[in-house]
């Protein structure tokens, strides 16, 4: 604590298991003295109860071991952003004046959407639906695959509504545990449960007067759905442990990657709550359903990557454009954006180069070949490779007299096995490494070697 008093850091990262004090007690000490300082707790996989407790005690987030640099950097950025965006200023001055108030970690006033609409018929129809429903107070259900831009669509509806000058608060229902969902949505009073050291403002209160966006709403527990139904019907709520009724004027937009009618049929979602939300619905087309927009989005994301990296780039090699148009984009816009950020960093010239694309994308045709002919290793040679497709060399091919030595044959078999497993787990590299019984670093090194 003496170090904190001296240096006043923007963020604290601590393991839960310390020498002379556990991380939970350290968290309590920090929150008592510096209630707005974000704290990340590092826990083991077996410490889920510990993780829930530290979240209730005010931790910004917890990170489970083993630690992966890319993932923890994202969490750190979110924690630092939370201290700079100042959520509390979007609600009333009464809450702003209360230094004991904690704000929800996942509720965030959305920033500028940074989104461009395409020119395909599907995109034009999407814009028409947004323009139609935005001026109303209707609740809206947005359906779409992961990464298709559902939150951006919700924010666009808010920006075109009469509530545009009021808060837009988003909550990912799939990222919050059952134990914390009620507190995140409705808030709680100090002392309402063990670890409730401060009063907490929930998402509904933060969004009062504006729009509340609930992503992956079907993941909410039945108990939370019951409370949510009552609030939607009566527009009145109480914080957990509180007695004061709070009047609400909130437009609710929800999103799901599965049809809520199907969730109702399976008993996962209340039918009466579904009908409350289903005043209007929008289906966001996947990226592969609007191929005409792929390069529009790609150029938009390239401009963003150029600005971030400070690089002068002019566009894409023809082979890259061809690859983009034939790739299925299961991760939709999120995947496209990440691919371009990575490729812009790796490309050395003024054009995005084919060799800078991810292993699984360059080998997509190979994966299809394996799926259709599982017993065949179909090696495509440069001579038969289409001119508009980048040539990806096989794992290790020794062409002395059209003969392969034993080492090369073994590498080919290894290459084939890695591709099959990656396909089975939808290119989740952690799962693939576990199935292959190798660590993730080894898998990355092999993928890098095969792509050369």
Quick one: three-class SS letters along 36-69? CCCEEEEECCCCHHHHHHHHHCCCCEEEECCCCH
* The length of the chain, given as a count of residues: 452
CB 35 within 8 A of CB 61: no
> What is the residue-level pLDDT of the chain in tens, covering all 452 positions?
777 777 778 889 988 877 777 778 888 888 777 777 888 888 764 455 666 667 667 788 777 776 767 667 777 887 787 654 333 223 232 333 333 333 333 444 334 445 678 888 999 999 999 999 999 999 999 999 988 999 999 999 999 999 999 999 999 888 777 778 888 899 888 887 777 778 888 899 999 999 999 999 999 999 999 999 999 999 999 998 888 999 999 999 999 999 999 999 999 999 999 999 999 999 999 999 999 999 999 999 999 888 888 888 999 999 999 999 989 898 899 899 999 998 998 888 899 998 888 877 887 766 555 555 555 444 333 333 444 444 344 444 444 444 456 666 667 777 777 877 877 777 777 788 888 878 777 777 777 666 55
- Buried residues in 327-356 as b, exposed as e (16+ CB within 10 A): bebebbbebbbebbbebbeebeeeebbbbb
Query: What is the tally of helices (H) and strands (E) in the chain?
Result: 20, 13
Structure tokens at 242: 């509180």
- From residue 22, alpha-carbon distances to 14, 18, 27, 41 in Å are 10, 5, 9, 11
Cross-strand pairs, 188: 200, 240
* Per-residue confidence (pLDDT) for residue 82, from 0 to 100: 61
The reported pLDDT for the residue numbered 142 is 97
pTM above 0.75, yes or no: no
pLDDT of residue 451: 59
Q: How many CB atoms neighbour CB 426 within 10 A?
A: 11
**Within its chain, how far is the Cα of 126 from the centroid?**
22
Residue 177 is predicted with a pLDDT of 76
- Residue 371 burial (10 A CB sphere; 0-12, 13-18, 19+): exposed
Contact 442, 413 (CB under 8 A): no
Using an 8 Å Cβ cutoff, are 345 and 414 in contact?
Answer: no
The tokens describing 161, both together, are 């509504």
Instruction: Please tell me the distance from the alpha carbon of residue 422 to that of residue 436, in angstroms, as a whole number.
Output: 10
* CA distance linking residue 82 with residue 86, whole number of Å: 7
Alpha helices by DSSP H, 162-209? 178-186, 203-206
pLDDT at 260: 96
Contact criterion met (CB below 8 Å) for 29 and 38: no
Return the pLDDT at 293: 93
Tokens of 267: 């008993």
Q: In this structure, are residues 351 and 313 in contact, taking their beta carbons and an 8 Å threshold?
A: yes
Q: Are the C-beta atoms of residues 38 and 79 closer than 8 Å to each other?
A: yes
User: What are the distances in angstroms from CA 212 to CA 95, 158, 185?
Assistant: 18, 9, 10
């Amino acid at each position: 604590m003496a170090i904190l008093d001296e240096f006043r850091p923007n963020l604290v990262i601590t393991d839960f298991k310390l020498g002379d004090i556990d991380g939970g007690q350290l968290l309590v000490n920090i929150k008592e003295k510096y209630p707005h300082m974000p704290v990340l707790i590092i826990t083991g996989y077996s410490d889920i109860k510990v993780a829930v407790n530290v979240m209730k005690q005010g931790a910004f987030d917890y990170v489970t071991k083993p630690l992966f640099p890319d993932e923890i950097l994202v969490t750190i950025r979110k924690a630092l952003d939370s201290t700079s965006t100042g959520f509390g200023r979007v609600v009333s001055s009464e809450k702003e004046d209360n230094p004991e108030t904690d704000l929800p970690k996942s509720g965030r006033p959305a920033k500028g959407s940074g989104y461009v609409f395409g020119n395909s018929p599907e995109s034009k129809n999407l814009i028409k639906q947004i323009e139609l429903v935005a001026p109303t107070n209707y609740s809206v259900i947005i359906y779409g695959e992961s990464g298709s831009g559902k939150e951006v669509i919700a924010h666009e509806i808010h920006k075109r509504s009469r509530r545009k000058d009021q808060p837009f608060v988003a909550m990912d229902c799939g990222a919050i545990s059952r134990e914390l969902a009620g507190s995140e949505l409705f808030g709680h009073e100090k002392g309402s449960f063990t670890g409730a050291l401060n009063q907490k403002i929930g998402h509904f209160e933060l969004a009062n007067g504006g729009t509340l966006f609930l992503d992956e709403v079907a993941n909410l527990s039945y108990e939370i759905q019951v409370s949510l139904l009552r609030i939607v019907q009566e527009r009145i709520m109480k914080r957990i442990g509180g007695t004061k009724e709070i009047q609400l004027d909130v437009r609710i937009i929800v999103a799901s990657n599965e049809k809520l009618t199907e969730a109702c049929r399976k008993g996962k979602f209340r039918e009466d709550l579904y009908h409350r939300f289903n005043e209007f619905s929008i289906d966001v087309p996947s990226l592969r359903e609007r191929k005409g927009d792929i390069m529009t989005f790609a150029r938009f994301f390239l401009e963003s990557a150029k600005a971030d990296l400070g690089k002068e780039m002019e566009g894409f090699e023809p082979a890259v454009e061809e690859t983009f148009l034939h790739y299925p984009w299961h991760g939709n816009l999120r995947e496209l954006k990440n691919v371009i950020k990575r490729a812009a960093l790796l490309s050395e010239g003024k054009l995005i180069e084919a060799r800078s694309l991810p292993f699984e994308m360059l080998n997509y045709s190979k994966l299809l070949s394996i799926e259709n002919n599982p017993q065949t290793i179909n090696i495509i040679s440069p001579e038969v490779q289409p001119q508009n497709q980048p040539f990806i060399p096989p794992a290790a091919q020794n062409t002395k007299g059209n003969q392969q030595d034993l080492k090369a044959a073994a590498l080919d078999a290894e290459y084939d096995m890695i591709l099959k497993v990656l396909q089975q787990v939808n290119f989740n590299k952690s799962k693939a490494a576990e199935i292959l019984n190798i660590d993730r670093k080894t898998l990355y090194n092999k993928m890098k070697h095969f792509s050369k």
